[in-house]
């Protein structure tokens, strides 16, 4: 079941491990089909979150803006 509401989490002011910890919390608290949109600044944060999503076999997309990355995925 897909959920229409998108959960947005702005983590741009944090460096790892905070974005990784917050992403894990969001996944645990979300329903299956929930769409998530994360914003991170650091390349290491992006890489760590993406690696975790790959480990959990989640489909995701990453958009690279000039000053931050946007990671979207569905739980």
Which CATH number do you get for residue 31?
A: 3.30.110.40
Instruction: Tell me the C-alpha distance between 6 and 39, whole Å.
Output: 13
The total number of structural domains in the chain stands at 1
Per-residue pLDDT tens over the stretch 24-57: 999 999 988 899 999 999 999 999 999 999 999 9
pTM score of the predicted model: 0.89
Residue 40 lies in a domain: yes
Instruction: Tell me the C-alpha distance between 48 and 42, whole Å.
Output: 10
Structural domain including 46 reads 6-74
Residue 47 lies in a domain: yes
Per-residue pLDDT tens over the stretch 2-25: 567 899 999 999 998 999 999 999
Residue 1 lies in a domain: no
Residue 17 lies in a domain: yes
Residue 36 lies in a domain: yes
């Amino acid at each position: 079941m897909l959920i229409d509401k998108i959960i947005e989490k702005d983590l741009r002011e944090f460096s790892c491990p905070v974005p990784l910890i917050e992403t894990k919390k969001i996944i645990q608290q979300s329903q299956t089909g929930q769409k998530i949109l994360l914003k991170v600044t650091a390349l290491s944060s992006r890489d760590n979150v993406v690696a975790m999503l790959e480990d959990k076999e989640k489909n995701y997309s990453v958009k690279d803006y000039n000053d931050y990355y946007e990671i979207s995925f569905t739980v």
